[in-house]
Copies of this chain bind each other. A is one copy, B any other.
Amino acid sequence: MSVRAIIPFKPKNPKTRLSPVMSLEERERFAEMMLGDVLDAVVEGGCTPTILSTAPYQLTGVETLVHGGGLNEALNEILPRSEGPTLIVMSDLPLITPANVSEMVSTTARMAMVPGRGGGTNAIFLPNPMGFRADFYGASFLKHLEIAGDLGLSVEIIDSFRLHDDIDEVEDLVEVLTLGTGASRRYLERLGFVLSTENGRVGVKRNPHEQALVGGN
């Protein structure tokens, strides 16, 4: 049975913590590039994607559901009606590979999960999602472990930095420029971002003479 991959996405004013180094348009485009990297990996990994968007959003060939309220409320409407294996994977994981997706959906446990940086949850796979309840935000990794425990689900924690490193902060861009290979990295490079080492610590700087390109790939 094909695995459905639900990818939460915020097309409008996303990634506000990148505002110090990117304009609104650039942040929206960068979020789309990261979504594109996730979609590529998910499809190559054998899943059928559904974008779960906070606002109307169109991408040829990909189903999009729009929800007006909170992510948890939307997921907790969808999951009880899902009949097949379901992957929930965040859209800000530009280091993801098809092998990561395959590993998740091949778990022999009744749930596979990847913690995000800072206590969050970046991906959940449920061979049978009926009865599961999503509780994203805050220390959601521990909350999801507890929910799995309440349901008696065995859990495999997938040990992958590619699924662990979500991109929220300016300093997170170091990971994309060091380890990324997809559209997100290329977009950062087109915007003029390069690694910059000062006092032994690595950050990013933006080359001021580069064009602020919106819409590139």
Contacts and interface: CB of A to CB of B under 8 A. Distances in A.
Interface string A136-155: 01110110000000000000
A175 B195 CA distance: 25
Interface string A161-179: 1111100000100110011
A16 B162 CA distance: 28
11 contacts: A114-B161, A115-B179, A118-B171, A118-B174, A118-B202, A139-B195, A157-B179, A159-B161, A160-B160, A161-B163, A164-B164
A117 B100 CA distance: 19
A119 to B, nearest CB: 4
Interface string A69-83: 000000000000000
Interface in A93-144: 100, 114-115, 117-120, 137-139, 141-142
Interface residues of A, number: 30
A175 B117 contact: yes
A209 interface: no
A8 B157 CA distance: 28
Contacts of A175: 117-118
Interface centre among A179, A195, A202 (most CB of B within 10 A): A202
A141 B175 CA distance: 11
A207 to B, nearest CB: 17
Contacts of A164: 161, 164-165
A101 to B, nearest CB: 13
A174 B138 contact: no
